[in-house]
Amino acid sequence: MSTSRVVVLSRLPGTAVERLDAVHDVTYRDEDTRPSRDDVHSLVAGADALVVTLGERVDAELLDAAGPGLRVVANVAVGYDNVDVDACRERGVVVTNTPGVLTDATADLAFALVLMVTRRLGEAERLVRTGRPWGWGMFQLLGVSVQGRTIGILGPGAIGLATARRARAFGMEVLLSGRSEPDPTAVAELGAEVVGTDALLERSDVVSVHTPLTPATRHLVDATALARMRDTAVLVNTARGPVVDEAALVAALEAGRIAGAGLDVYEDEPHVHPGLLGRDDVVLLPHIGSATVETRAAMADLAADNVLAVLGGEDPLTPVR
């Protein structure tokens, strides 16, 4: 196997970089901060493989800077909206992602947001931290139970179904809606009902978003969709920020058209719509759905496995089709 040049644009956990370096010539940018585009273009020049995270935008300009020898872009994420897949295909560059290994961690966080919003846990934690006097009270920070309620999963792929399993364990009924039919075995296991998007929005007490970001799903949850939700319902988004129209979400919250929201992703990260920041009925997290030591190391390892496979003349493990 000949040695190839692999460029890793961000600091990665675990042993992925060491594994790549044992076989190939690795240029490793061991930093969390984002470099300038000019610096990125200089780093990638002459690369055979790129390992990127969501912080890097892989477009035609970057691909051209890498040069004609580039063979694979390994994205350390399940979503790949940061990569221009069409531009890669035009240049014969394989794109890979890291599905599966982050499913449970992200589903854990999604359901944690459900509980945080419905039980007002963010408000409660902030109250204690203020140092203001408080005492047990029958009506203090009353939330609502999830038992017997209905969760609607928008995008019943692996993460959506894993979130639904957690909801079932808490006694929730499950509705599923997506562009493709969910796994029938999972539907039966969950006792779920597959419905249209409008019906899901109208019938759910919790709407949890798990769709990938595509032109078709951008602002899928817009003012019209939010108007279909119950005024007692909450919205959770752990997918991609632009799937939800943030301005419309703020307007719906201000008008009392929905009861709350839990967000781990935003339209223009790291910027958050200012109308969300001061609201007690909203829980805001900094895009940490897959942020466990074990999960992030597994993601990096899978990206490395994909690079090693492609550079070794084999099929990638998890190609983006």
Span 119-146, pLDDT tens digits: 999 999 999 999 999 999 999 999 999 9
CB atoms within 10 A of CB 267: 18
The label of the residue with tokens 């179904």 reads 161
Nearest to 198 by CA among 176, 228, 221: 228
Task: Tell me what pLDDT residue 321 has.
Answer: 86
CA distances from 286 to 8, 35, 265, 266, 313 (A): 23, 20, 7, 9, 38
Q: How far apart are CA 182 and CA 184, in angstroms?
A: 6
Span 13-36, pLDDT tens digits: 999 999 999 999 999 999 888 889
Residues 6+ apart with CB under 8 A from 60: 84, 87
Q: Which domains does the chain have, with CATH numbers?
A: 5-101+293-311 (3.40.50.720), 103-284 (3.40.50.720)
Question: What's the pTM value of the predicted model, to 2 decimals?
Answer: 0.94
Helix, coil or strand: residue 126: helix
Q: How far apart are CA 83 and CA 320, in angstroms?
A: 10
| Active site positions, annotated | 240, 269, 287
Per-residue pLDDT of the chain (321 residues; tens, 9 = 90+): 568 999 999 999 999 999 999 999 999 999 888 889 999 999 999 999 999 999 899 999 999 999 999 999 999 999 999 999 999 999 999 999 999 999 999 999 999 999 999 999 999 999 999 999 999 999 999 999 999 999 999 999 999 999 999 999 999 999 999 998 999 999 999 999 999 999 999 999 999 999 999 999 999 999 999 999 999 999 999 999 999 999 999 999 999 999 999 999 999 999 999 999 999 999 999 999 999 999 999 999 999 999 999 999 999 999 998
β-strand 72-75 against 94-96: which pairing, if any?
parallel
What is the signed CA dihedral for 277, 278, 280, 286, rounded to 10 degrees?
20
